Amino acid sequence: MPNAILDPTGRADVAKASSPGLMLAPRRPDLSGLQVGLMDNTKHNAALLLAEIGKLLAAEQGATVTVEATKANFAAPAPAELVERYREACDVVITGVGDCGSCSASAVADGIGFEQAGLPAAVICSDAFVVTADAMAELRGAPGYHYLRTAHPVAVLTTDQVRQRAKQLLPEVVATLTEPGRRDG
Amino acid sequence: MTADLTKAELDPDAAHGAIEYCYAQGWSDGLPLVPATRPLMARFLATTRRSPDEVIGRLPQLDRSVTVELAAINAVMAGCLPEYFPVVLATWDALMLERSTTGGGWQSTSGPAPLIVVNGPARAELGINAAGGVFGPGFRPNATIPRAIGLMVRNAYGIHPHELEQATQGLPGRWSICLAENEEESPWPPLAAEAGLPPGTSAVSATLLRTCEFVDNRHTSSAEHLLADFADTIGRSGAWIFRHASAGIVFCPEHAQLLAGGGFDRAAVRAFLADRSGRSTAELAGVGKDYCDDNGVRGPGSRDTEAGPDSGGFQRMLPGSEPQNLLVAVAGARNAGISMVVRLFGGWSGTAIPVSGT
């Protein structure tokens, strides 16, 4: 009997768990009167894009931006204290921009983390990083997790172009953060 | 074990089948792997006192980790000999001191490559090339030690290209740059000694690179000419994306000796290059990199109204003149004035890890 070939991944014993999938946080029918948190990940134009979306939500949806913070380490998911800060002061969170190899994956991990903390989240990723974002969703037991995709590249956009992007993204942000079917409520 | 078989007893068809099995599992970096077995792994583990269960690396965002045992399996698969294993472990430990390797570095669009520099008696004991063709190929430890690191990232961390690994282009030499310092023909103390270890210690220094580019200069006898040539290559704008960027130089013996003859030790080389490597603000404006935003990322000064040049007429590329900002090693043949500038992904830890066996 020949020797067995060893598995180099350390996952030989880990069965492909059939994930129950992610339970999204409960949504309201609309964003009126809700407190919005923005979490930028230091990627160029991320803070501006989120701020512009925040302004539009305030002007058009009656929401209020209560927390605008930066996740200092774009490569890693947000630390628990930061998630807690949003949980205490916000009803919904918008985060991004997933615009690099590690930060797209971790942005998706953040979105899933916010949902698990009870906060509806809208995650914005560049469409060049869909594969790695999806891979992270699968890794976190949330295959098919919905996040917003915006055309790559984001970092080279001018201020006006970023404002334009914010306008384009707004309907999907609202739809993502509210209960499906009642998004115009 | 294979080593005990006579030539007539070797079974290439069985070997081929096992190699193809490894490909089919998705374990390969593209080249054939040596299938790992328990007895072979045991020979690797016997070269270290460390427990097979010791966790030597963890990526919390992926919920994956590397143990000494997984390192051994991947080192087997990379084609290492058992006696290379302590160097593989020291290399991994040295890389773990780099900020990016515990963050998102392995997933990065820049696709960085480890640079591994070995000092001390381990070089001769293992036959690690320090002389001609030191950037490869042709030498088993030089080729397989970095490959083991790459397989650990691929298999133990589960970071695969086109999935969690998002290198835009990657770079030639990823998982293949391991060199012994040519201490015998270097005019300076070993790199590991500069990093604080006693001379004669077998040790590994490692960092991550974005690329390597040669400086060929063999017709001047002036140390200042030579250093000015390096300063020009180090300061080129294409490699510059943040406020500062760190670099390194693997000097060929001829260049190192010329510099030493001109009175330059490592510190003097670094001081000269820290001062002289860079571009004028006007040149940087011409390529849209004259201004740093709040996150320290370079872009055109005109993109924000309040932006302006932040450092007068000349902007220095290196963040300082410490070893962490400009790694200096000596390797290669003494047959021409050809050296390699290396581009650091971040900074170098400035630390060398001793190679410890049993």
Closest alpha carbon within chain A to B153: A9
**B305: which 2 tokens?**
């109204």
Partner-chain contact B166 A132, CB within 8 Å: yes
**Burial of B99 per CB tally in 10 Å (0-12, 13-18, 19+):** middle
Express each pLDDT in B198-256 by its tens digit: 989 999 999 999 999 999 999 999 999 999 999 999 999 999 999 999 999 999 999 99
Residue B178 · residue B92 · CB < 8 Å: no
CB pairs below 8 Å between A and B: how many? 103
CA distance A138 to chain B (A): 11
Return d(Cα B98, Cα B79) in angstroms, integer. Answer: 26
Q: Which of A109, A129, A139 is opposite residue B166, by nearest beta carbon? A: A129
How are strands ordered across the β-sheet holding A35-40? Answer: A64-70, A35-40, A92-98, A121-126, A148-150
Is the per-residue pLDDT at B313 higher than 80?
yes
ipTM of model:
0.92
Rounded Cα–Cα distance for residues A134 and A112 (Å): 12
pLDDT at residue B310 above 90? no
Q: Collapsing DSSP states into helix, strand and coil, what is residue A178? A: strand
Q: Grade residue A19 by pLDDT with cuts at 50, 70 and 90.
A: low
Q: At what angle do helices A130-139 and A101-116 cross, to 10 degrees?
A: 40
Closest by CA to A8, choosing from B51, B78, B2, B16, is B78
Of A6, A7, A135, the CB nearest to B164: A135
pLDDT of amino acid B32: 98
Going by pLDDT thresholds of 50, 70 and 90, the confidence category of residue B62 is very high
Whether A180 shows a pLDDT value over 90: the answer reads no
Contact A162, A135 (CB under 8 A): no
- Closest to B337 in 3D by CA, of B234, B209, B211, B229: B229
Q: What is the pLDDT of residue A1?
A: 85
The mean pLDDT value for A131-143 works out to 93
Q: Which positions in chain A touch B27 (Cβ < 8 Å)? A: 8-9
Query: What pLDDT score does B4 carry?
Result: 76
At residue B308, the pLDDT reads 46
Nearest alpha-carbon partner for A177 in A134, A147, A142, A157:
A147
Average model confidence (pLDDT) across chain B = 94
Instruction: Cite the beta strand spans of chain B per DSSP E.
Output: 55-59, 64-67, 113-119, 178-180, 203-216, 247-251, 278-280, 291-292, 298-299, 314-316, 326-330, 338-344, 353-354
What are the angstrom distances between the C-alpha of B31 and each of A10, B108, B143, B150? Answer: 21, 22, 12, 12
A17 pLDDT exceeds 70? no
Which residues in chain B touch residue A6, judged by CB atoms under 8 angstroms apart?
35-38, 41, 73, 76
Q: Where are the alpha helices (DSSP H) in chain B?
A: 12-24, 38-45, 68-78, 85-96, 122-126, 140-151, 191-194, 223-234, 253-261, 266-276, 281-286
CB A145 within 8 A of CB A108: yes
Give the model's pLDDT for residue A183: 39
The amino acid present at B175, given as its one-letter code, is W
Residue of B nearest to A42 (CA): B295
For residue A138, give the chain B residue with the closest CA: B62
- Say if the Cβ atoms of B104 and A129 lie within 8 Å: no
Q: Alpha-carbon torsion A64, A66, A70, A74, what sign? A: negative
Which tokens belong to B203?
A: 């040790």
Among the partner residues B73, B104, B297, nearest to A6 by beta-carbon distance: B73
Which tokens hold the place of B192?
A: 């590991």
Whether residue B277 contacts residue B315, with contact meaning beta carbons closer than 8 Å, is answered with no
CA distance A92 to chain B (A): 23
B198: buried, middle or exposed (CB in 10 Å: 19+, 13-18, 0-12)?
exposed
User: Could you tell me which residue, A95 or A1, shows the higher pLDDT?
Assistant: A95
pTM: 0.93
Task: Quote the Cα angle for B193-B194-B197, to 5°.
Answer: 35
Tokens 């143990």 -> residue: B67
Q: Residue B305's pLDDT is what?
A: 39
pLDDT at B270: 98
**What would the mean pLDDT of B133-155 be, rounded to a whole number?**
97
Residue of chain A minimizing CA distance to B65:
A10
Interface test with A, best of B1, B33, B109 (most A CBs within 10 A): B109
B60: which chain A residues are within 8 Å (Cβ-Cβ)? 76-77
Q: Which residues contact A60 (CB under 8 A, 6 or more apart)?
A: A170
CA atoms of A155 and A44, how far apart (whole Å): 5
B354 lies within 8 A of chain A by CB = no
The predicted pLDDT at position B59 comes to 94
pLDDT at site B83: 98
Confidence of residue B167 (pLDDT cuts 50, 70, 90): very high
Type of residue numbered B131: A
pLDDT of A36 strictly over 50: yes
User: What pLDDT is recorded for position B254?
Assistant: 98
What DSSP state is assigned to residue B154?
Answer: I
Q: Which residues of B touch A100 (CB under 8 A)?
A: 104, 108-109, 166
Q: What CA–CA distances, in Å, run from A76 to A80, B37, B157, B190, B253? A: 12, 35, 15, 36, 42
* Record: contact A5-B297, CB cut-off 8 A: no
What are phi and psi for residue B336, nearest 5 degrees? Answer: -165, 165
B107 contacts on A by Cβ (under 8 Å): 75, 101-102, 105, 132
Exposure string of B1-26, with b = 16+ CB inside 10 Å and e = fewer, is: eeeeeeeeeeeeeeeeebbeebeeee
How confident is the model at residue B306, as a pLDDT? 41
Q: Over the range B204-241, which residues count as b (16 or more CB within 10 Å of their CB) and which as e? A: bbbbbbbbbeebebeeeeebeebbbbbbebbbbbebbe
Which among B357, B351, B358 is positioned nearest to B117, based on CA atoms?
B351
Contact A70, A47 (CB under 8 A): yes
pLDDT of res. B112: 96
Residues of chain A contacting B155 with CB distance shorter than 8 Å: 8-10
Q: What is the pLDDT of residues B84-109, one digit of tens each?
A: 999 999 999 999 999 999 989 999 99
The strand pairing partners of B344, in sequence order, are: B209
The rounded percent of chain B whose pLDDT value lies above 90 is 89
Interchain contact B14–A (C-beta under 8 A): yes
DSSP of A136-170: HHHHTT-TT---EEEPSP-TT--HHHHHHHHHHHH
